Structures are given as structure tokens and as C-alpha cells.
């Protein structure tokens, strides 16, 4: 009995015997030949999983804060809002580590890239929108959840566009505000003002403008410096360490306000540079 040739895209007998949770990924070796790798890299995906957990933890605390507000416990609500915002900033650190760890250990993979994007969607898309909605936007009714959805949609579109431009975009710049930076603006606003005991209902309109603006900046064509040209592995002058220590000291002196100010400056830097560029072009003969 003659064997039927395997059709393109059809799983082989060996693959059909794999457990349903076994991951098989195709790639190319140094000579350009197609190879298949089974399993995933553990180390970078641990950081990505921690990033996902931080986003989920932020969502849980936002829900707890909303329940506390409904019960009239403003003090507990402020505490939960702070935890939710801090979790988003922790997710930023973890998000920056997973990619660097993967590159340093040569464990990049298509699975890791997709997993990272899905985690970012939770940590920097859904979590900040729900945090803003629970703190301030919920008092605006349908307008509030529409503004929150604008932010979520902007984050999703930003991540999808980034994934399609990985191999072609200039690494020195981000096209549109990066989703972690947008999340930093939203989380920073909630953390900074709720830490003072200010109720979000008193500044719903301002929060709505900021959240909507962050969502629109993510899908804009405005360029932002990515700071990826810095060589972290090379030698630097001794004074650079002193600058790093000074930065840490300033941030930890008042984390909510300093972080909010830093992310607001970064978010505004793109439009300011864009306007200066337009003005320069108009003045040129």
C-alpha cells in the first residue's frame, strides 16, 4: 500500500501525537534552512507573565476601589486606587525587562512577541481605562465609558500597528505615543490626586480630556523618541552613576507627582516637536 504524500500545511504523524498544549514554532537557522522548535522559553515569558499579573492586579484594585466608594469608604477607596496605579507602573518595569532579557539571552520568539502584546493590552490598555473609569469617568455616564473605550481602542490599535512595523520602523522613534507612556499619564493622574484625597468626580471633565488625548496620541503619526540608542552595556563616565542616583532620589521623594510630571512632559514632547518642525518648514524658503 503506497503512502499518501503529506499535503502542505497538514500535520505529520509525529505532530499529531503531541500533547494539545505543546507549542511548535517554525524558524530559520544560520544557513537559512527552516527548522521547528518545540516548547517556549521560560525566562522572558516569566517577566511577561508578571507584567500580565500586574495589569490584572490593577483591575482587581480598581474594582475594589469602586466598591469602597459605593459603600462610602473614601479612605479605603483611595488606598485601592493607589495600589491600582502602582501596579501599572510595576508592569512598565516588567515590560521593559522581558524584551531586554530575551535579547540578552538570545531567547526571542514569535510566541514571546505575541504574548507580550497581549499582556500589554491588559496592563496598559484595559487596566488604565478601568482605573480612570472607576475614579472619575463613571460619574459621567455614557460619556465616561465612551472615553474609556476610546483609550482601550487606541491602545489596541497602537499595539497592532507596532507589531506590523517592527522590522521596518526607525528604532530611534515610536510612531504615536507608546502604550506604557499613555498608561503612565492616566495612572499618574489618579495616583497623584487620589493620594491627596481628591475625589475624581470633582475633575471628571479634565480626566476625560486627558484620557481621550492619550488614546488619540497613541494612534497618531507623531514621532516620540524611543531612547533605544542608549548603549546600556557600554562604558560611561563616572558622573553618569551620580546622575542615576540623583534621578532615583528625586523620583522617590514624591513618586506620584514626579512620575506624573515626567510622563506628562514625555507625552507633550511629541506634539511640541511636531509643531516646531512645521514652523521650521514654513520659515524655510
The one-digit pLDDT tens for each residue of the chain (285 residues) are 444 444 444 544 445 444 445 555 555 555 655 555 565 677 788 999 999 999 999 999 999 999 999 998 988 999 999 999 999 999 999 998 887 887 778 877 888 888 999 999 999 999 999 999 999 999 898 999 999 999 999 999 999 998 887 766 677 888 999 999 999 999 999 999 988 888 888 899 999 999 999 999 999 999 998 877 666 666 778 788 888 899 889 989 999 999 999 999 999 999 999 898 888 877 765
Tell whether 263 is covered by a domain: yes
Tell whether 62 is covered by a domain: yes
What is residue 278's predicted lDDT score, i.e. its pLDDT? 84
Tell whether 1 is covered by a domain: no
What is residue 183's predicted lDDT score, i.e. its pLDDT? 97
What is residue 106's predicted lDDT score, i.e. its pLDDT? 80
Tell whether 99 is covered by a domain: yes
| Residues 76-114: b if buried by 16+ CB within 10 A, e if exposed | ebbbbbbbbbbbbbbbbebbebbbebbeeeeeebebbee
CB atoms within 10 A of CB 71: 10
pTM of this structure? 0.84
Residue of 85, 177, 90 lying closest to 132 (CA atoms): 85
Q: How many domains does the chain have?
A: 1
Check which CATH number belongs to the domain holding 278 and give it.
Answer: 1.20.120.1760
Tell whether 236 is covered by a domain: yes
Tell whether 253 is covered by a domain: yes
Tell whether 10 is covered by a domain: no
What is residue 167's predicted lDDT score, i.e. its pLDDT? 66
What is residue 36's predicted lDDT score, i.e. its pLDDT? 52
What is residue 258's predicted lDDT score, i.e. its pLDDT? 95
Whether 45 and 114 have beta carbons less than 8 Å apart is answered as no
Tell whether 37 is covered by a domain: no
Grid cell in block for residue 72? 462610602
Which residues constitute the domain of residue 149?
42-283
Instruction: Write 258-264 long-range contacts (CB < 8 A, 24+).
Output: 259/89, 259/184, 259/188, 259/191, 260/184, 260/185, 260/188, 260/189, 260/191, 260/192, 262/184, 263/181, 263/184, 263/185, 263/188, 264/185, 264/188
What is residue 236's predicted lDDT score, i.e. its pLDDT? 73
Amino acid at each position: 500500500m503506497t503512502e499518501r504524500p503529506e499535503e502542505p500545511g497538514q500535520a505529520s504523524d509525529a505532530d499529531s501525537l503531541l500533547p494539545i498544549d505543546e507549542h511548535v514554532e517554525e524558524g530559520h537557522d544560520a544557513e537559512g534552512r527552516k527548522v521547528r522548535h518545540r516548547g517556549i522559553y521560560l525566562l522572558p515569558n516569566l517577566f511577561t507573565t508578571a507584567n500580565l499579573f500586574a495589569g490584572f492586579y490593577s483591575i482587581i484594585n480598581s474594582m475594589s476601589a469602586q466598591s469602597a466608594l459605593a459603600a462610602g469608604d473614601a479612605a479605603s477607596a483611595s488606598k485601592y486606587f493607589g495600589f491600582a496605579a502602582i501596579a501599572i507602573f510595576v508592569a512598565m518595569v516588567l515590560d521593559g525587562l522581558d524584551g531586554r532579557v530575551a535579547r540578552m539571552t538570545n531567547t526571542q520568539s514569535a510566541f514571546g512577541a505575541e504574548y507580550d502584546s497581549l499582556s500589554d493590552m491588559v496592563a496598559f490598555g484595559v487596566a488604565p481605562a478601568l482605573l480612570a473609569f472607576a475614579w472619575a469617568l463613571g460619574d459621567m455616564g455614557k460619556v465616561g465609558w465612551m472615553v474609556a473605550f476610546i483609550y482601550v481602542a487606541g491602545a489596541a490599535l497602537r499595539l497592532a500597528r507596532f507589531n506590523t512595523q517592527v522590522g521596518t520602523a526607525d528604532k530611534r522613534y515610536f510612531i504615536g505615543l507608546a502604550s506604557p507612556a499613555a498608561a503612565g499619564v492616566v495612572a499618574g493622574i489618579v495616583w497623584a490626586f487620589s493620594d491627596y484625597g481628591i475625589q475624581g468626580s470633582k475633575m471628571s471633565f479634565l480626566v476625560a480630556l486627558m484620557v481621550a488625548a492619550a488614546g488619540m496620541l497613541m494612534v497618531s503619526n507623531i514621532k516620540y523618541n524611543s531612547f533605544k540608542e542608549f548603549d546600556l552595556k557600554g562604558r560611561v563616565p563616572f558622573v553618569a552613576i551620580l546622575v542615576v542616583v540623583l534621578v532615583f532620589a528625586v523620583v522617590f521623594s514624591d513618586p506620584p507627582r514626579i512620575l506624573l510630571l515626567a510622563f506628562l512632559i514625555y507625552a507633550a514632547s511629541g506634539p511640541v516637536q511636531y509643531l516646531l518642525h512645521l514652523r521650521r518648514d514654513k520659515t524655510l524658503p
